[in-house]
Amino acid sequence: MKLSQRWKQTTIANRLMVILTAIMAVATLFLAVAAIFQYLTAREQSEAAKQQASVAREQAEVMRRQLNSMDRGLVEAAKQADASVDAAKAAKDSATAAVTVIEQNEDLVKAANAQARASEKSSQIASRALVVGAQAYLDVALELPKIVPDEETEFNVTIINEGNSPATLDLRWGLRFTEKYEMPIFDYSGVAAYIPHTYILPKNSRRLVLIGRAFTPDEVSKISDGKLYIFLSGKGEFLTVGQRQSMTFCYVYYGKLKSWGDCAELIQGVKENKAENLLERFRRKPRVDPSPTPSPN
C-alpha cells in the first residue's frame, strides 16, 4: 500500500498530530538557527566591547600621564608665581621710593618756580617803573580862536610833554561844525589834516597852528550866540623810549562863553539836561589824560 493511500486511511486526529509535529519540528529548526545567529552576534559584540575597553584603558593611561605632567607644571607655575610676587613687591618698594624722590623734587621745582616768578614779577615791575618814569607824557591845551568873518580861522593847539623823555608825534586832526550839540563823525583817514614828526623835548611844549575854513558873517554871529558849535578832534601816535604810544582828544568851542570844553563831558551834560553843569564844564580848562595808551600798532 502506497503512502498516499495510508494517509487517506489515517484518521483526522492522527493527521492533525502529524501536521502539528511537522510544524513544531520546523519551528524548532528556526529557533535553533536564530539561536546560532544570536550567539554569533553576541560574540561579535563581546569582542567589540573588549576592544573598546582596551581603547578606554589606553586613553585613561594617557590622561593619567597628562594629569601627572599638569601637576608638575602647576608646581613649577606656583614656584614661578611666588618668584613673580617677590619681584613685584621689590618693584613696588622701588617705585614707592622713586615716587618719594619725585615728590621731593617737585616741591623743590615748585619752590624754584615760585621764586623765579617772584623775581620775574619784580623785574617787570622795576622795568615798568623805569619805563613809566622815563617815558614822555603828552597833554593838550587850546587857545581861544580869533574868528573874523570871511577869513581863515587859526586854531592854536599846544602839545605839552610833561614826561622825562622826548617824543616824536604824528598827528591827524579834524574840524566839524554843527548847530546840534552832538558828537560828529571824524574821518581821520581821508578828510583830517596830517602833521607828521613833531619833535617835543621833555618838560617842553610845541605850538601847532591848525588852519580852519573862513566863516560867513551869519556863521560868526551864530558862533557868538552859541548856536553853532566848533568841534576840534585829534588822533596821534608818538614814539618815546622805543615804544609807540597813542593819544586822542576832542574839544568843542562854545562861542557864547568863549571857552573850550571836553566833548564827552559836555555831551553828557546835554543828555542830562543840566544847563548849570554844562556851563560849569565849559568854564573848566580843557585837558586830556596825560597817561597815554599803548598803540595797537
Query: Residues 29-48: pLDDT tens digits?
Result: 888 888 888 888 888 888 88
Q: What is the pTM of this model?
A: 0.49
CB-count burial class (<10 Å; 0-12, 13-18, 19+) for 254: buried
CA-derived radius of gyration, the chain: 62
User: What's the CA gap between 48 and 53, in Å, rounded?
Assistant: 9
What is the rounded average pLDDT of the residues 79-96? 78
Topology of domain 138-294 in CATH is Immunoglobulin-like (2.60.40)
SS3 45: helix
Residue-wise pLDDT tens digits, 188-241: 765 457 888 899 989 999 998 888 888 899 999 998 888 888 888 888 899 998
**Is the pLDDT confidence value at 133 over 80?**
no
Residue-wise pLDDT tens digits, 112-123: 787 878 777 766
User: What's the CA gap between 151 and 159, in Å, rounded?
Assistant: 25
